[in-house]
């Protein structure tokens, strides 16, 4: 959280020493509730054609509560705490407004993700080329603004120890990002335990046939990431349930690996997250050896559930 706030928004938060930090508490509130367990979300998964309507309902509820609290803060403040996501957005908006009102040379002295996005953003739409009539903008719009295998750990530590660190023994970005076995290990971890297990749904805009299945125009498509990551046809011939970093030496189908989703709208922080993860893992293994404990497997079990949807039956893997 400290790294993200500093590198993304230029904020010094020091949450490592301040466990009551407001950003930390609000961020925790946004992830405390599993949205997959909400009734409306379950209804959308069961009947995808209702997703547009359900999205308006969920968004409307949140906005209505936010509006009531804003209109009558005296009455609502003791009753209902401001929704965490609106609290965070309000702070980010304040930072953006401060940046936009500051002098040009002051903005140029800042180097963080937020400033890069501000510099690349615009209020106006521009054409991608002279023949493009869609008016899609090339720029951002302001409104958008660990393992139980000791042999693998030993091999990873050996790669780390082989690097030529500087005199201060500090981490070097290029050395960390160019460690091949480190990359394989991280990829295998994210294949077996991706951060999200369902990709964002998409609407099919042209009737087509995929692997013998007819998909009609207007159908809602939502990949099950765990099912894809554990598909033996995509990740064989070795058992996909085994942790084998070397399997990533083999070129796979471009859609077989999607821990950060995939395509032009994949995770905007993917490179930053991978860099942060590799730097942290490198620093950890340079000084410590991780040993398995009694509860090492807790929270890392998978189970299959049967999801029945209109005209189709899907086997879905869930993290437990």
Q: Which residues of 223-243 are buried (b: 16+ CB within 10 A; e: fewer)?
A: bbbbbbbbeeeebeeeebeee
Q: Of 39, 125, 266, 143, which is closest to residue 274 (Cα–Cα)?
A: 266
Count of other CB atoms within 10 angstroms of residue 44 = 21
Backbone angles phi, psi at 276, to 5 degrees: -65, -40
Contact present, 194 and 217 (Cβ < 8 Å): no
- State how far the Cα of 119 lies from the Cα of 140, in Å rounded to an integer: 9
Whole-number Å distance between alpha carbons of 317 and 319: 7
Longest CA–CA span in the chain (Å) reads 64
For residue 319, what is the enclosing H or E element? strand 312-319
Distance (Å, whole) CA 122 – CA 119: 8
- Residue 200 near residue 265, CB atoms below 8 Å: yes
Non-local (6+) Cβ contacts of 48 within 8 A are: 201, 220, 222, 309
Q: What are 187's two structure tokens?
A: 């990829």
List the beta strands (DSSP E) in 49-170.
Answer: 121-122, 140-141
Question: CA-to-CA distance for 46 and 66, rounded, in angstroms?
Answer: 29
Structure-token match 């437990």, residue found? 320
3-class DSSP state of 313: strand
- Taking the CA atoms of residue 225, residue 230, residue 232 and residue 234 in that order, the dihedral angle to the nearest 10 degrees is 40
- Would you say 211 is a known binding-site residue? no
Annotated binding site for heme: 267
Binding-site members are: 267
């Amino acid at each position: 959280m400290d790294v993200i706030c500093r590198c993304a928004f230029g904020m010094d938060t020091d949450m490592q020493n301040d466990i009551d930090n407001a950003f930390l508490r609000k961020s925790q509130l946004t992830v405390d509730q599993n949205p997959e367990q909400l009734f409306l979300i379950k209804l959308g998964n069961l009947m995808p054609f209702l997703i547009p309507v359900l999205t308006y309902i969920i968004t409307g509820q949140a906005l209505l509560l936010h509006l009531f609290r804003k209109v009558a803060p005296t009455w609502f403040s003791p009753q209902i705490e401001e929704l965490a996501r609106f609290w965070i957005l309000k702070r980010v908006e304040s930072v953006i407004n401060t940046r936009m009102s500051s002098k040009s040379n002051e903005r140029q002295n800042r180097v963080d993700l937020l400033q890069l996005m501000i510099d690349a953003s615009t209020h106006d739409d521009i054409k991608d080329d002279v023949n493009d009539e869609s008016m899609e903008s090339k720029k951002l719009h302001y409104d958008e603004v660990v393992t139980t295998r000791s042999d693998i750990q030993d091999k990873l530590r050996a790669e780390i120890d082989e690097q030529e660190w500087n005199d201060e023994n500090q981490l070097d970005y290029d050395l960390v990002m160019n460690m091949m076995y480190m990359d394989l290990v991280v990829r295998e971890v994210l294949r077996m335990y991706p951060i999200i297990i369902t990709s964002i749904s998409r609407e099919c805009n042209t009737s087509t046939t995929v692997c013998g299945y007819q998909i009609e125009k207007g159908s809602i498509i939502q990949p099950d990431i765990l099912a894809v990551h554990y598909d033996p046809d995509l990740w064989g011939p070795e058992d996909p349930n085994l942790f084998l970093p070397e399997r990533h030496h083999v070129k796979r189908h471009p859609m077989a690996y999607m821990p950060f989703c995939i395509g032009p709208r994949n995770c905007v922080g993917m490179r930053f997250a991978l860099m942060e993860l590799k730097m942290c893992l490198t620093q950890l293994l340079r000084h410590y050896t991780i040993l398995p404990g009694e509860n090492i497997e807790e929270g890392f079990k998978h189970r299959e559930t049967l999801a029945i949807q209109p005209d189709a039956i899907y086997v879905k893997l869930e993290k437990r």
